Amino acid sequence: AQSVTQLDSHVSVSEGTPVLLRCNYSSSYSPSLFWYVQHPNKGLQLLLKYTSAATLVKGINGFEAEFKKSETSFHLTKPSAHMSDAAEYFCVVSLTGGYNKLIFGAGTRLAVHP
């Protein structure tokens, strides 16, 4: 069965410092992996996606993620946090087969302090 595990429920950083949000996946096949962001009282927005092309994936707002098969990880990083990055982040795997059946991780709340 495919699943994702987000290793931290809360991450707190200072503005201008690096961000690391950790995600491990479980999949029998080569997975399609995504990061979505949810700002307070808003819907979710796709940050970036990995679909078996380049292992380093760049997304919006300066975020990027690296697919590491040997570690079954897909961690999200950003070199320098901004106050506007404070949000809930979801690591997501797409089930094999047809259609966009997405399985969401439990989420990581990112807090950014001045």
Partner 1 sequence: DTAVSQTPKYLVTQMGNDKSIKCEQNLGHDTMYWYKQDSKKFLKIMFSYNNKELIINETVPNRFSPKSPDKAHLNLHINSLELGDSAVYFCASSQGDRKTGELFFGEGSRLTVL
Binding site for partner 1 (CB under 8 A): 32, 34, 38, 41-46, 49, 51, 88, 90, 92, 94, 98-102, 104, 106-107
Q: How far apart are CA 62 and CA 79, in angstroms?
A: 8
Give the rounded distance of the alpha carbon of 75 from its chain centre. Answer: 6
Q: Are 67 and 75 in contact (CB under 8 A)?
A: no
Task: Output the smallest distance, CB 90 to partner 1, in A.
Answer: 7
Q: Are 89 and 108 in contact (CB under 8 A)?
A: yes
Q: How far apart are CA 13 and CA 96, in angstroms?
A: 35
Q: How far apart are CA 55 and CA 89, in angstroms?
A: 20
Task: Output the smallest distance, CB 88 to partner 1, in A.
Answer: 6
Residue number, 14 or 51, with CB nearest to partner 1: 51
Task: Output the smallest distance, CB 62 to partner 1, in A.
Answer: 19
Residue number, 8 or 15, with CB nearest to partner 1: 8
Residue number, 67 or 90, with CB nearest to partner 1: 90
Q: Are 87 and 39 in contact (CB under 8 A)?
A: yes
Residue number, 15 or 95, with CB nearest to partner 1: 95
Task: Output the smallest distance, CB 21 to partner 1, in A.
Answer: 14
